[in-house]
Structure 1
Amino acid sequence: MNAGQVKGKYTKEKKIQKVYLVNADAGLEVGNQYGNIYVTTWDESKTSIDVIIKVSGNNEDQVNKRINGIDVKLNATKGLVACKTDISSSNSRTNIEINYTIKIPKNGSIVLHNQYGNIVLGDIKGHSELKCQYGNIQANKLNNVSAKLEYCNGSTISTMGNGEIKADYSRLTINKCGNLQIKTAYTDYTIDDVNNIVFNSEYGDFKIKQAVNIEGKGEYIGMRFGIIKGGMELSASYGNIDIQSIENNAKNINISCAYTNVDINFNENYAYNFEFDLQYGSLRGTNNLNFTEKNVRTTSANYKGYSKKNGANKVYIESQYGNINLGRS
């Protein structure tokens, strides 16, 4: 059995269409395999479901038997419509594709699980719980999100409110979001604009172009940050940290790292007290600093002082086996 675009000498198609009268905030649950789930909203207290099942192969009897063994289990109440793809076991050499196109009330919530296919969403005001394996999530505007991605190499969310995301072996882009908790492994991701973010990432690369507050831990990962408007607390090992600009109204910066180089640029109006603690590393770019204490040994060094004025924000960077490079943005 193969999934994806159907192909073969013989092709059979089966359609399932249902419309349910539901509450204005009714939920939707879908469990599917081998196809896509498309969900949009409308100004109707109805849930409309269209399912197209396609099977193809070079043996007509096998194709007929296969399509007869695929169905959709439906359960509907005023508050929830649930759909689940039911595929009987088979050893036939056939290709199958099962696509859902669904409309829900504009205030409805969704729980979507899909394997070997995409989840494609319009604007969803209710809570979104998403699980996608071997496909991608493509969403326009989501509110509250809980998402799990595995082997999803091109997922995009244009706008989202608050959310939690777990991603393994994937690639993800978020254009704009509110507060985000994200945990990743072997995953690359880019976030253009985020309010507050807490991350735990290992093996991969990420870029956060603009954020207010950042808190996170990274291992074996490249971290690139653009504009930081608030505070930052980072822990890193076996990677690199590149910070384009600590803005003049930003808050405290705390970085602890090992086997990691730190490149950090400060807005010229950002005033701060600093402490840099290094072991087996160097401090560079100190022209604009006022030192109150220097303690330099063969394999370690500790520097204290301030930039612009004393008693302002605090910048603390602890580095083992890595360099600290300071600059102006």
Structure 2
Amino acid sequence: MRILLFNLCCLALVFSTKAYNASNNWDGKYTETKAISKTFEVEKTALLDIKNKYGNIVFTSWDKNEIQIDVELKANGNNLEKVKSELEAIEIYFEASSIKVLAHTDLSALEKRFWGRKSVDIEINYTVKLPVKASVKLDNRYGSIKGDRIDGHARINCDYGGVSIDELRGRNNQIELDYCNASYFGFINSAFVDADYSKLEIDRSNRIELNTDYTSTSFGNVIELNYDIDYGNLEIEEAGDVAGISDYVGISINYLQGSLEADADYGSIKIMDTDPEASGIEIDSDYTGIKIGLHPEWEFNFDFEGSYSDVKGRDLLNLTEVIQKNTSKSYKGYHLNQSSTNRIQIAMDYGGLRLERTTK
């Protein structure tokens, strides 16, 4: 079964390599193009559903109650007859009503010819205008998705490409990325984000559910973040409330305004600075290095315990209890105010904690 699955994966990759090569890299003698344009009158909250392969989807929002779709199809190769034949085999299927417009790329006829084909490159690009309050369902494989603003719900799925969207203002958006090397979102209101083998940047966001594998994710400012990460990196410039679990992940927070709850194995956690109003930090870790920058005016109680671990920077704190037994150590105390409800609680095995005082 594993051999069969591997062979099927190889077949898919071979087809994708032959079928899609960006047009700016084409070197065939002949290039044929075909254009399709459609305009649909819709309600302002209509759904746009596009599914494509081997090209890009670019959308722009406007104040008209219309969805305008322009599709450009290209084929390139050294045999003119084959180029024309491949181009004609590409179908774009449309379905429309006042509340939904669907446009799907149909390559079934083309893919049936795979074993008898000579080398022909194809590209299918969608350029779309839609109402700003519309919702979207965009699925693209081997290409990018780019756009400015969506106020409705957005469901974005991109494989082997990249996404660049300025604003997703709707709630509970869904974003799925696989092998997307560079993706960017200027603002996301709220979303579930699932990414594998990708690189993702989100400048501003209110609430994010993040699930990634082998992915590097960076945030400018996030108010609420829940994460589940295996193998990768998580970087946050300014964080509100953050909670999650990670394995083999480097986590870096430049400024923590609210709270952090982290369960981490085989990685690192760095908090460069904390807000004096931060509510707390709770970390349970194995084989993880931890660094926390303490604001000089932050009041908190603390409880540190660990096996085969050490705490550096204890002189910055007021210790009320120290217990050392064999390979285990425990430290309790406070910073500035013993009655504070703010708290740092850290349990660690085979790691270390470094505390540093930051400037005001």
TM-score interval (norm. to shorter): over 0.9
Q: Does 1:153 align with 2:170?
A: no
Aligned-partner Cα distance in 2 for 1:5–1:187:
24
Picking from 289, 292, 308, the partner of 2:336 is 308
Q: 3-state SS of the aligned residue for 1:68?
A: helix
Which residue does 2:289 correspond to in 1? 261
1:202, CA displacement in angstroms? 1.0
1:314, CA displacement in angstroms? 1.3
Q: Deviations over 1:60-80 (max 9, x none)?
A: 111111111001000000000
Q: 3-state SS of the aligned residue for 2:105?
A: strand
Q: Is the 8 A contact 2:19 2:120 kept in 1?
A: yes
Picking from 124, 137, 140, the partner of 1:111 is 137
Which residue does 1:61 correspond to in 2? 81
Q: 3-state SS of the aligned residue for 2:272?
A: strand
Which residue does 1:83 correspond to in 2? 103
Give the AA of the match of 1:52. E
Q: Does 1:29 align with 2:46?
A: no
Counterparts in 2 of 1:99-178, with a 5 A limit?
99-144=125-170, 145-178=173-206
Q: Does 1:3 align with 2:20?
A: yes
Q: 3-state SS of the aligned residue for 1:280?
A: strand
Picking from 43, 58, 66, the partner of 1:46 is 66
The more displaced of 296-305 and 26-35 is: 296-305
Q: 3-state SS of the aligned residue for 2:81?
A: helix
Which residue does 2:355 correspond to in 1? 326
What is the aligned length?
329
Structure 2 gaps, min length 5:
1-17
Give the AA of the match of 1:79. I
Q: Is the 8 A contact 2:37 2:69 kept in 1?
A: yes
Aligned-partner Cα distance in 2 for 1:45–1:296:
71
Q: Deviations over 1:182-241 (max 9, x none)?
A: 010000111010000001111111201111101011100111011111111001000011
Aligned-partner Cα distance in 1 for 2:19–2:29:
15
Which residue does 1:276 correspond to in 2? 304
Q: Is the 8 A contact 1:164 1:181 kept in 2?
A: yes
Which residue does 1:203 correspond to in 2? 231
Aligned-partner Cα distance in 2 for 1:206–1:114:
25
Q: Is the 8 A contact 2:316 2:357 kept in 1?
A: no
Q: 3-state SS of the aligned residue for 1:161?
A: strand
The 4+ residue runs of structure 1 with deviation greater than 6 A are none
1:311, CA displacement in angstroms? 2.0
> Which structure shows the bigger proportion of residues in helix conformation?
2
Aligned-partner Cα distance in 2 for 1:285–1:306:
13
Aligned-partner Cα distance in 1 for 2:39–2:193:
32
1:289, CA displacement in angstroms? 1.1
Q: Is the 8 A contact 1:262 1:323 kept in 2?
A: yes
Counterparts in 2 of 1:278-293, with a 5 A limit?
278-293=306-321
Which residue does 2:266 correspond to in 1? 238
Q: 3-state SS of the aligned residue for 1:174?
A: strand
Root-mean-square deviation (CA, aligned residues, Å) is 0.9
Give the AA of the match of 1:211. A
Picking from 36, 61, 67, the partner of 1:16 is 36
Give the AA of the match of 1:150. D
1:297, CA displacement in angstroms? 1.9
Structure 1 gaps, min length 5:
none
**Identity of paired residues, percent?**
33
Taking structure 1 as the reference length, the TM-score comes to 0.98
Q: 3-state SS of the aligned residue for 1:67?
A: helix
Q: Is the 8 A contact 1:265 1:326 kept in 2?
A: yes
Aligned-partner Cα distance in 1 for 2:22–2:197:
24
Give the AA of the match of 1:132. C
Picking from 201, 211, 220, the partner of 1:183 is 211
Q: 3-state SS of the aligned residue for 1:61?
A: helix
Aligned-partner Cα distance in 1 for 2:67–2:90:
22
Give the AA of the match of 1:4. N
Q: Is the 8 A contact 1:237 1:260 kept in 2?
A: yes
Which residue does 1:224 correspond to in 2? 252
Aligned-partner Cα distance in 2 for 1:170–1:5:
20
1:252, CA displacement in angstroms? 2.0
1:298, CA displacement in angstroms? 2.4
Q: Is the 8 A contact 1:4 1:35 kept in 2?
A: no
